[in-house]
């Protein structure tokens, strides 16, 4: 497995691979890999001849410097896991290679989607994500790229960017991998203490109450679904925790879904602070 730090070298590796007639799949990450990332890599393996993974904790997408400082990192362990998965090349750039100025003057923004859900409490977050994903795509020029559906808003905005800017890459969105009790895999889970970890199951349990209600009544409205979610979250939340947002949304526009229409086909999205750790999750209602 090649470990590459320089932009020119990852571009040359990818270009050479494609010139040899092979396809390239790309899995961008911020490291501290877990089963969700491994699943992305295994899906990538099914599609392409060569797999490139990037590990880069992107400062531009953190609107809170404490969050950036506390983001878990363990590059040695990550490299071990990537070797086990037979990844072909890992791209680990230095921050100063990518951000020479404090903040780049050019941004890629999609205010219609960025000012919803996570973007409300994390201003600038999605501009940071689009900036780095756009640049990584420019350098790696992958045929395929893989993202997790846990970050539903992120994958939707990346799909939009690729479509709007006619970028020659096919995006795959991969279902969320969960712990046995339903907690979505996330690098941030490592920051939960035992009590927070057990409280965090409230998110999945609340989503499942809505999903089960729809199984019993296909015509359950968005307002009924919202009420189930509301009551479950408020009843289960402890004094140390707090809600960022939750609701039932249109999965394409991320607008709140019309109260009197069926919830079936819509998206539950939730962001909670369990203690100091911000967790997000979502479920497409079927």
Give 257's DSSP letter. Answer: P
Distance between CA atoms of 254 and 250, rounded to whole angstroms?
5
| Catalytic annotation, pick one of 37, 125, 134, 230 | 37
Residue of 17, 24, 25, 29 that binds ligand PAF (CB under 6 A): 29
Kindly state the smallest distance separating residue 232's Cβ from ligand PAF, in Å.
27
Helix (H) or strand (E) holding 65: helix 65-70
Kindly state the smallest distance separating residue 84's Cβ from ligand PAF, in Å.
20
Distance between CA atoms of 46 and 170, rounded to whole angstroms?
14
Instruction: State yes or no: is 5 an active-site residue.
Output: no
Distance between CA atoms of 87 and 78, rounded to whole angstroms?
11
Closest CA to 28 of 87, 74, 77, 71: 87
Tokens standing for residue 226: 């919202």
For residues 172 and 264, which CB has a smaller minimum distance to ligand PAF in the complex?
Answer: 172
Number of H helices, E strands in the chain: 12, 9
Which residues, numbered 248-267, are part of the site for ligand PAF (CB under 6 A)? none
Residue of 14, 39, 58, 141 that binds ligand PAF (CB under 6 A): 58
Which residues, numbered 153-212, are part of the site for ligand PAF (CB under 6 A)? 154
For residues 202 and 280, which CB has a smaller minimum distance to ligand PAF in the complex?
Answer: 280
Query: Quick check: 151 binds ligand PAF (CB under 6 A)?
Result: yes
Q: Catalytic residue positions? A: 37
Q: List interacting residues with ligand PAF (CB under 6 A).
A: 28-30, 58, 61, 129, 132-133, 151, 154
């Amino acid at each position: 497995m090649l470990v590459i730090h320089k932009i020119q070298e990852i571009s040359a590796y990818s270009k050479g691979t494609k010139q040899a007639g092979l396809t390239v799949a790309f899995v961008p990450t911020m490291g501290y890999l877990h089963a969700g990332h491994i699943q992305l890599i295994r899906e990538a393996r099914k599609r392409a001849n060569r797999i490139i993974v990037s590990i880069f904790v992107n400062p531009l997408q953190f609107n809170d410097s404490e969050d950036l400082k506390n983001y878990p990192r363990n590059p040695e362990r990550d490299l071990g896991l990537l070797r086990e998965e037979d990844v072909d090349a890992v791209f680990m750039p230095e921050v100063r290679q990518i951000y020479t100025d404090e903040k780049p003057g050019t941004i890629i923004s999609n205010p219609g989607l960025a000012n919803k859900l996570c973007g409300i409490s994390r201003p600038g977050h999605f501009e940071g994500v689009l900036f780095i994903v756009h640049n990584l795509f420019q350098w790696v020029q992958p045929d395929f790229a893989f993202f997790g559906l846990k970050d539903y808003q992120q994958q939707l905005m990346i799909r939009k960017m690729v479509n709007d800017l006619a970028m020659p890459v096919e995006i795959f969105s991969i279902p969320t991998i969960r712990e046995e009790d339903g907690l979505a895999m996330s690098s941030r889970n490592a920051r939960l203490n035992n009590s927070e970890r057990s409280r965090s199951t409230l998110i999945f349990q609340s989503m499942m109450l809505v999903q089960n209600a729809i199984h019993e009544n296909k015509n359950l409205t968005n307002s009924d679904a919202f009420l189930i979610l509301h009551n479950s979250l408020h009843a289960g939340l402890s004094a140390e925790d707090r809600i960022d947002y939750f609701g039932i949304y249109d999965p394409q526009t991320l607008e709140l879904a019309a109260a009197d229409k069926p919830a079936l086909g819509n998206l539950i999205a939730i962001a909670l602070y369990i203690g100091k750790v911000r967790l997000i999750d979502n479920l497409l209602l079927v």
